[in-house]
A = this chain, B = another copy of it.
């Protein structure tokens, strides 16, 4: 019997840096390959295993399963069983949701690397939500709070502006159930907004963003 039976907990903790440093501790938890990208996906709301696998091209099934278990054990995510017709979904805990600033900082730093778009690059529409949120919730953000549908050539997603309740998704793939406004623009502009090279009100004035909707959010986007 060479292999001890492993208890309910995962057998061996992942390799730790063993440093009394907050940054090193954070990397112990989320520094493994794919982990932060899984968090990015889950920031869009609850996702099924298959959804995650589809939106993370290149990750192998066992690594994805292993990371999800690690994240469960680490308190980053939970697995929730849905009534039988539907499958189980993974969703971030409040602690996992707290990684949004980390991803935002990484995305801001990595933004210049998006200058070139390699032919091998995968794209998903909701990957543009983070830069757009930066433009919406950041300084000079013109909009009131609400849910905004965003239509790109690459697809559609929605963002929830002005939200600070942890645990609730700040953006999501596809259209929202009830959107307060809707904009149509292209990805390039979306990135420029995130880099702060343009403001949303400017872009609306220049006609590079089409705004539709009736409520205060749409009005705010149109510049009052």
Contact = CB atoms under 8 A, between A and B. Distances in A.
Interface of A: 17-29, 31, 33, 36-37, 40, 57-58, 98-99, 101-111, 113-114, 117-118, 120-124, 127, 130-131, 191, 194
Given A20-B122, A26-B113, 19 more contacts: A17-B37, A18-B120, A19-B122, A20-B118, A20-B127, A21-B40, A21-B114, A21-B124, A22-B107, A22-B109, A23-B40, A23-B103, A23-B127, A23-B130, A24-B127, A27-B36, A28-B110, A31-B33, A99-B109
A37 B24 contact: yes
A199 to B, nearest CB: 19
B29 A110 contact: yes
A66 to B, nearest CB: 16
Contacts of A19: 37, 57, 121-123, 127
A123 B20 contact: yes
A159 to B, nearest CB: 15
Contacts of A25: 110, 113-114
What 3 A-B pairs are tightest by C-beta distance, nearest first? A26-B110, A25-B113, A22-B107
17 contacts: A18-B57, A18-B120, A19-B127, A20-B123, A20-B127, A21-B123, A21-B127, A22-B107, A25-B113, A27-B37, A27-B106, A28-B113, A31-B31, A99-B109, A101-B109, A102-B105, A102-B109
A108 B113 contact: no
A10 B31 CA distance: 24
Contacts of A102: 102, 105-106, 109
A93 to B, nearest CB: 13
Contacts of A124: 21
A9 B31 CA distance: 27
A105 B27 CA distance: 11
Nearest to A131: B22
